[in-house]
Each structure stands twice: as structure tokens, then as C-alpha cells.
């Protein structure tokens, strides 16, 4: 199994999904970043990060920051789709 800093990939995915379910969206995005640092084509990590950024955007007062989160989320979703 792929190990990332002492954790298996499956454990990091589970932790990111739990963080997302608990509305700990910043942590979910950071965990997804760790997965993407090892495998930039990880569709699961891209989806988790996109979902986390979308949820972060909902509470963002600053329009520029909100637009950035939503744009990155859209790009992640598009790149995670099979060709």
C-alpha cells in the first residue's frame, strides 16, 4: 500500500472524507493536498478538495476569495473526469 508520511493512502482518504463530513473543510483540503502531492492524478483527492473548497466558498464574505475557491474547485472536478 502507498504510504504517505507514515500513513497509508486509504487512511488519508478516510480522514479527509471524515473532515469533509464534519465540516472541517480546511483540514479536508489540506489532507487532499497531501494526497495530490504524491499523485497529481488522484481523482478521489481532487473530488475531496473540490468539495472542501466549494464548502469553504459558501461562507466566504470576500468575493475574490470565493471566486478563487469556486474556480479551483471547478478545475479540479474537470481534471478528475475520465477522458
CB 57 within 8 A of CB 76: no
Provide the grid cell at 59.
461562507
Q: What is the pLDDT of residues 36-69, one digit of tens each?
A: 998 999 999 999 999 999 999 999 999 999 999 9
Of 74, 17, 79, 23, nearest in space to 50 by CA = 74
Beta strands in 2-81 (DSSP E): 3-4, 7-8
Collapsing DSSP to helix, strand or coil, 83 comes out as: coil
Q: What is the pLDDT of residues 4-46, one digit of tens each?
A: 556 688 999 999 999 999 999 999 999 999 999 989 999 999 9
Amino acid at each position: 500500500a502507498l504510504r504517505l508520511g507514515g500513513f497509508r493512502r486509504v487512511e488519508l482518504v478516510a480522514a479527509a472524507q471524515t473532515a469533509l463530513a464534519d465540516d472541517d473543510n480546511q483540514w479536508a483540503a489540506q489532507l487532499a493536498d497531501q494526497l495530490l502531492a504524491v499523485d497529481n492524478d488522484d481523482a478521489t483527492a481532487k473530488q475531496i478538495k473540490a468539495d472542501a473548497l466549494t464548502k469553504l466558498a459558501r461562507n466566504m464574505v470576500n468575493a475574490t476569495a470565493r471566486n478563487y475557491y469556486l474556480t479551483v474547485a471547478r478545475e479540479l472536478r474537470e481534471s478528475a473526469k475520465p477522458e
